[in-house]
Amino acid sequence: MSTRTGILIDPRFREHDPGRDHPERPDRIAVLEDLVHDWRGPALERIAPRLATAEEVCSAHTPELLARIRETEGELHARIDADTATSERSYEVALLAAGGLLEVTDAVACGAVDNAFAFVRPPGHHATAERAMGFCLFNNVAIAARHLRRRGCERVAIVDFDLHHGNGTEAIFYDDPSVLYVSTHQYPYYPGTGAATDVGRGEGEGFTVNVPFSAGVGDAAYLLAFDEVIDPVLRQFAPDFVLVSAGFDCHRRDPLGGMRVSEDGFIGMMRRLLEVARDVSGGRLAAVLEGGYDLDAIRSSAEASLGQMVRAGDARSVEPNEHDGEAIEPLKHILRPYWHL
C-alpha cells in the first residue's frame, strides 16, 4: 500500500562549497537530484524549502554561533575549524537546510504527507549549541525537534544511524526528557563521544541511548540492535513524531568509515522505524540527510530508504542471519534502569 511521501531537494544546496577535495561536496546533492529525476516508484510529493529565521536557529544555538556563520556571508572561503569551511553563500544555504527540514516536519505534522525525506546540505548533527564543527554549521534536526515541541508535540524521538556519533544533537538535548536521542555509530571514532554509558543528565537521564559499534559491523548487528534495543525503547517512549538523522556513511563503500552496512541494512532500519512511527506516532516520520561520501552509495541507500517510505515499511527486508550480541547485552544492562529490555 503506497503512502504520500514528501521529498525536499533544491539546487541551491549545491552552492555551499567547503573547498576542493572536501568530502562534503556539492556532488552529494547532485546525485540525489538525479535520483529524484529518475524515480520510477510511486509519486513523491515535492516540498519547497524556505530560510529558517534567526529565532528558529537560536532555539537550538546561541546568537553568537548564528552571528559567526553570518559573518562568513560573501567570503570566498572561511575556515571554521580543521574540517569545516564555508563559501560565499554557505550561510544562506545553511538557513535553507534548517528551514527546509522545518517545512518537511510541518507537512508531515499537518497531514499534507504521511512521511518525508529532506535531502539537504550542509549536514547538522555535529553542530553544538555554540559551535559549528564536523562539516556541520547549524544542527538541522535539533532545530526541527525544538520546532515540533513548540507545535505541541510532547515527545520527539531522534534516531541517528550516521557513521559518526551526533555529539551536537546529544549535547543539546542531554538533560531534556521530552526528546529521546538514539544513535548507532562507529566507536571509538570522530568525534570521540557516544559511549554506551552516556545516557543523559538530570531530568534527561535515560533519554540518551548510544549504541557504539566496533569497525567492521554490518547489517546483522545493526538490525539486531534495532530489534532488541531501539525498537522497544522507542515504543516505550511513544513519541508524537520520529525524526531520522539519516547518514549513509556507515555504508560499506564509504571512504570515511569502517562499517559494513549495505542497502539491505538501510531497508531494514527504515522499515523498523516506519513500523514504530505507524504504531505509536500516527505514522509521523521525517528523515534528513546527514553524512555519506561515496556518491553511488548515497544514491542507492537513499533509493532503498525511499522505497520503504512510499510503502510505509510494509515490504519485508532481509532479516539478521547472524547474532552479534557482543555490543548488545552490555548495552541492555546499562539501559535496564530506564527501559524494559
Q: Which residues are catalytic?
A: 126
Asked if residue 101 lies in contact with residue 143, where contact means CB atoms within 8 angstroms, the answer is yes
Alpha carbon distance 148, 160 (integer Å) = 17
Owner of C-alpha cell 503506497? 2
Secondary structure in 3-state letters for 27-88: HHHHHHHHHHHHCCCCCEEECCCCCCCHHHHCCCCCHHHHHHHHCCCCCCCEECCCCCEECC
On the question of a cis peptide bond just before residue 337, with omega within 30 degrees of 0, the verdict is no
Asked if residue 130 lies in contact with residue 109, where contact means CB atoms within 8 angstroms, the answer is no
- Identity of residue 21: D
CB-based contacts of 270, cutoff 8 Å, min separation 6: 244, 287, 304, 305, 308, 309, 313
SS3 187: coil
